[in-house]
Structure 1
């Protein structure tokens, strides 16, 4: 437990350093974007290749993936039904809330956090693959259908401007070009070659990959701290109550659902249980805001829930580490 908590304390210290750097604007106005792009396109793929190539694939895609799928769907339903029936909002707005309550930041923040807290970045790989390849595209298609139907209703039968063909192509291309998916496939191939043919990467290639992998965690956490210092949320136009509810569902209810599923279905305990719950406690991903902007629905909630859930995820994961570590 002390190892987990001390590792988490290091995460908090590095984030705080990034916050101070952002407050003083020491790295310039576009530094957060540049650092995040380095992490997303170079360092995190290297980290996934480095660890996944040495991992046991059955551990990565077994119970972990099942808990990710079931807990995400259930947490999303809590958000959708609450926003739809209790708040009385339309279907597109409720679908964005569904994502805000269940779509994890598994890459930019998830990989660094689980790497440092759990010591294994592959713990976040199932959620990245599920969300990128299945969950996100499925909800986006529902958003497309519902917003077009909503537009027809509001315009008295007029056709909305969204086209489902380009959207499907955009999603497919996005999945194929996603560096994390590419890295995951490469890592799986390398792991398979290691177990079946006893072949590993030559040292000349493995060393640079490991060096780049080492930059993923600190650079991502610095960028995260800087982004907190530069974002202003919960303004006069924000649905503050809904934002807080969505953030609490994401960082408290979602991990509780994951805990219950892991215990009841798989009798998980120890490090495995901790990994399941920590991954579920990751905050709302930036993709949710991107999707809401794409369809022009519930954008303020998507943006603010991402920031507030990120702030809440720090104490949430700390408590989880304390109780389960």
Structure 2
């Protein structure tokens, strides 16, 4: 447990370093975007290939995937019901609140955090696959049906192509293919390919956290008269408290897991709201301020929430 808590302090230090770099603008304009694109298109896929090629695939798509799916849908239902029936908002606005309460930052923050904290980024693969392959596309279609700003008639085709072109899906499928080859034939990547993949993979955590800290330095949230402050904090608390609590109930009492697997599942559920929520909201012109502010506030709440989870379950 002490090692994981120390890992949190290291993560906070690197994020703070990125925040300072962002405040001082040491890397110039547009640097956050460039670093994020490096992480998303190159480093994260390489990390998935590197770790998945030696992974136990049975553990990736068993209980972990079930807990991810059910807890995400449960937290989303809480967020939707609260915004729709308590706050009295429209269906489209409530769908954004649903996503803000349940859609994890499983890529840019989740993979680096799990790689550093528990030494296995592949535990985030179920949430990546579930969100990219099912939850995200389904939510976009629901937003399209309920929003006044309807998307183009080629929405389904666009969604399918976006999944097929997603570098994380490509990296995951490649890694799974290599793992199956190794299990069935003993094949391993030659050193000439394996070492560059490992080298780029090792850069993921530092670059992702630096970029994340820099992005936090550029965002202004909870602006008076513009931001729905109560709803932002409500969605953030559902994401960082209710979502991991549901995952813990499922993992411990429904599926009977314990130890490091239970800890990993609860930590993944405690990840903050993903940036994609703001992207979806902006695309349909619905509840964009709630989406943007919840991403930031949930991120600020997630690290102490995850530290408490480690203390309780570590």
TM-score range (shorter-chain normalised) is over 0.9
Report the TM-score, using the length of structure 2 for normalisation: 0.98
* CA deviation string 1:104-158 (max 9, x = no partner): 00001110111111110001110001000100111111111111xxx4xxxxxxx
Equivalences for 1:92-241 in 2 at 5 Å?
92-147=92-147, 151=148, 161-163=150-152, 165-236=153-224, 237-241=226-230
Q: Equivalent residue for 2:250?
A: 261
Q: Equivalent residue for 1:286?
A: 275
Q: Equivalent residue for 1:57?
A: 57
* CA deviation string 1:169-216 (max 9, x = no partner): 221111011000000000000000000000010010000000000000
List gaps (5 residues or longer) in structure 2: none
Equivalences for 1:26-37 in 2 at 5 Å?
26-37=26-37
Q: Match of 1:230, SS?
A: coil
Q: Match of 2:203, SS?
A: helix
Q: Which whole-Å CA distance do the structure 1 matches of 2:255 and 2:51 have between them?
A: 25
Aligned-pair CA distance for 1:161: 4.6
Aligned-pair CA distance for 1:162: 3.0
Q: Which whole-Å CA distance do the structure 1 matches of 2:53 and 2:3 have between them?
A: 25
Aligned-pair CA distance for 1:251: 0.6
Q: Equivalent residue for 1:251?
A: 240
Q: Which whole-Å CA distance do the structure 2 matches of 1:44 and 1:144 have between them?
A: 30
How many residue pairs get aligned? The number is: 313
* CA deviation string 1:233-287 (max 9, x = no partner): 1112000000000001001110000000001122111100110000000111111
Aligned-pair CA distance for 1:166: 1.6
Q: Which whole-Å CA distance do the structure 1 matches of 2:297 and 2:162 have between them?
A: 27
Q: Which whole-Å CA distance do the structure 2 matches of 1:133 and 1:273 have between them?
A: 24
Q: CA 1:55–1:89 in 2, change beyond 3 Å: closer, same or farther?
A: same
Q: Match of 1:282, SS?
A: coil
Q: Which whole-Å CA distance do the structure 2 matches of 1:322 and 1:226 have between them?
A: 28
Q: Equivalent residue for 2:39?
A: 39
1:309 matched to 2:298? The reply is yes
Aligned-pair CA distance for 1:55: 0.3
Q: Equivalent residue for 1:13?
A: 13
